[in-house]
Structure 1
């Protein structure tokens, strides 16, 4: 349910009353417009009467206003902008806030005494002498930088110098050892290259060729439903009695829902929805503009989706 601010409720009621007036002047019914724009009649009635408790989130309300206005032949984009998705909080300026005593009396600024004029000059407060801070010596900073440089130098010498000594010792050991001929590979022994590393035989199977033999990951729930939209459509998903999604999805929308016992899937445009149930292949639910409702269980498959 939508939780709207007072300003949003006023905007919604004003826009809904205007749309209801235009619809009545054109002689159109709520049910006819609901079938045309794929929005439930109950949502359109709540939109006209400004009942925010029966409407979804503000972003969906703005989309309903735009589609409803366009169906009436109005400028839906302009009318939808009259309903702000995010309310603007008015914060008073600090200059406008008056100081108030705890007892409720407003504190008035005390009058300042005027300077007394004297013969050719006025009295003014003598400025206080500024304390001059003594300049700090840069010696501690220089000592700190010097110590940091020494630590970095020792670390670099320890890293690179040790690696150099180790590589030289390894080279000297390799030069002093006689060359050992690698044994010829046999049918039972693996073939070795010049550095003694085992090489795979030419007839070894490619790991990619056996990837298909690996069993697929089991489904994460008894009921798994995946939807892919090729056209705009209104969707409603109820999993185990809980409404997990309701709104208008655009083309290219992809989503997966799960349930333990049952999942009720409903759409107002069956031709724009491809549905896959429990890991089976995806199929189109029907013709464009057709309303379909499916109750899916762990035993549902592609035949359940294809059957009218």
Structure 2
């Protein structure tokens, strides 16, 4: 885009307005960065109208709003103005995958871990069934007779169940609550897999948010996953991503987070309600 492009001149007017307000308050870019926790390079991009250099339109709007509040302008008005001027199709967000290192363990989808665990469990069940079948055949005892002896109706069938019907597994599901606590100022968006937003804001240091128990499959988008402390009940989860790198579509479901913790420790995910190791 050339310097004479009218779109650049329009959107850059916001950057000029913020820069003039900053200079009018005798503030440096470093002063604004210290108050907003926004990197200086992003503040320079905002003043120069270089919106494509920011991770996503939502980041651009959030950063501009925070900048405006610090220099005495109305952050909400600046955010609305920038959203209208950028437009839905003018700015394309940078895909989150572009920010991952090739060897980053966070690239392994939590859903894959669940599939692998399920496959291993299925193989163990099949192996046990084959071994059991061979043991009965070798003994020369009729199988129907073995079932009668080992599972009498009055002992093997729990009250309230139909004889011959397999009972449900007793393993309790993974439980929460899932809590996110900011150790530094950080913008984030939490949303359902279908797109419904549960939360979108800039959290301040020490502020916490509990994922609603009614959420079916909550996901997160943020550019600073390393400053979020995530817990499932009393179990602390490793960082959701590397420092200062955007993550998106990362599951915040209790089972997926516990699987992530188990993978990081090289062990199976902790049982529901179990205390984290080292306590």
- Structure 2 length-normalised TM: 0.40
> More relative contact order in 1 or in 2 (CA 8 Å, sep 6+)?
2
Larger radius of gyration: 1
- Higher fraction of helix: 2
